[in-house]
Amino acid sequence: MVFIIFISFLLLFRFSELLYSSRNEKWLLKNGAIEYGQRHYPVMVAMHISFIFSLIIEYSILNGSRDSCERT
């Protein structure tokens, strides 16, 4: 149960950061900012998503093996 609360918090936090940064990006570009690093942005997004999925998968695997140990 603690893990589900943690992942929910993490996802909500990351989503709110995404909305906040998107709003800031639009404002900055409108006011003359220059964007650098556009090519590596998709890689960074993929790494963040992979990290969250790896947490969920690891928890599922470890929790499943713990349940099977308790049954015996």
What the block records as the tokens of 34 is 């220059």
d(CA 47, CA 44): 5
* Contact (Cβ atoms closer than 8 angstroms) between residue 56 and residue 8: no
What the block records as the tokens of 54 is 């790896």
User: pLDDT (tens digit, 9 = 90+) per residue, 44-68?
Assistant: 989 999 999 999 999 999 886 665 5
d(CA 17, CA 40): 19
User: pLDDT (tens digit, 9 = 90+) per residue, 1-59?
Assistant: 889 899 999 999 999 998 999 999 999 999 999 988 889 988 998 999 999 999 999 99
